Structure 1
């Protein structure tokens, strides 16, 4: 993959960094996270135009995907800042609520005291904006919130995920673990 190919994914105005991860344990083989200024970015003319006129690379990449999943989410209950080299994801079993938001904030504060913690957040899917990818199954598309925990290394990621699993009353094996592949920021696109 070249930088020009990354641009097609990250070059839309109002989109911040595009980050790609590779699975270490659980989850899909690859994970792409693209951050925006707000959910309104997904209804902008610029996004609509980019979506309707995708590059040949993007179209070919979509065709190669196996078991893809697209979720457009609000990023909430953020603790910490920055981007960790490792990411842990828990798909939470219940719908988003004020109680879940508070629980994730409290958990984030506890995790932030541990070595290797970088950032935690709650991703809440927007069902209307989360249109499926071409090869995504339309059956049982569940819009469940996700807890993301970013850490400075794999060992910290495992430790933090075990602590989070205990606090959430979930099996630690339910966590998906990823390693950072690359990140492209808006500043790099303009330089």
Structure 2
């Protein structure tokens, strides 16, 4: 059986006085360092349209095993001063390592909805995906199921309570469609939606070609 892809989900706020340096670090060091790790496929940054935390980073991997590899753990033993400084300045961060399942559609869009589900029913999710499959502006969706053991907290992340709730990612090509689908998904699947816009993405292929 093919193992599902993995996804590192990192969302955070940052103080206004630290924001410029934080973005420089993320854009010119951190994303590239993470995507270079064995088993990582891409790193994508988003900025909040309507969400609890302003910045979101999604890192897709070939499987959850990427987060238990020697290469991944080595990344934490050779962190730069710049990394340590910015990790300590995160405000109310959230880190989740998740399995990616229930993929529907292909591709990603410049608008993203994250719907955190209070419970999960596979049949209801599949029915919702089929219902919206022909909606203009809908691109794809997938489910993130956090792994509690792998989802160790960031330095400034509150240690308790840390709910490991499933999250539905909905990719759309326009904001209006994403707002509508986030609302319908939250209602149909008992969830709370947050909205983000794409900032930029780096893939392993791009990194390999310089």
Structure 1 range deviating more: 103-112 or 132-141? 103-112
Q: Does 1:185 align with 2:185?
A: no
- The CA deviation string for residues 85-113 of structure 1, in whole angstroms up to 9 with x for no partner, is 1110111112x5xxx23322221222221
Query: For 1:71, what is the secondary structure of its paired residue?
Result: strand
Name the CA distance, whole Å, in 2 between partners of 1:93 and 1:74. Answer: 17
Moved beyond 3 Å, runs of 4+: 2-5
User: C-alpha displacement at 1:4, in angstroms?
Assistant: 4.1
Name the CA distance, whole Å, in 2 between partners of 1:168 and 1:59. Answer: 38
Partner residue, 2:109: 84
- The CA deviation string for residues 76-133 of structure 1, in whole angstroms up to 9 with x for no partner, is 1110111111110111112x5xxx2332222122222111111111110000000000
Partner residue, 2:6: none
CA RMSD of aligned residues (A): 1.5
TM-score, structure 2 normalization: 0.83
Q: Contact 2:34/2:40 (CA < 8 Å) preserved in 1?
A: no
Which of 86, 99, 115 is the aligned partner of 2:136?
115
Which blocks of at least 5 consecutive residues in structure 2 are unaligned?
A: 1-23
Name the CA distance, whole Å, in 1 between partners of 2:82 and 2:123. Answer: 41
Which blocks of at least 5 consecutive residues in structure 1 are unaligned?
A: none
Q: Contact 2:47/2:197 (CA < 8 Å) preserved in 1?
A: yes
User: C-alpha displacement at 1:74, in angstroms?
Assistant: 0.3
Q: Does 1:104 align with 2:125?
A: yes
Which of 15, 23, 39 is the aligned partner of 2:64?
39
TM-score, structure 1 normalization: 0.90
Q: Contact 1:5/1:57 (CA < 8 Å) preserved in 2?
A: no
Q: Contact 1:27/1:177 (CA < 8 Å) preserved in 2?
A: no
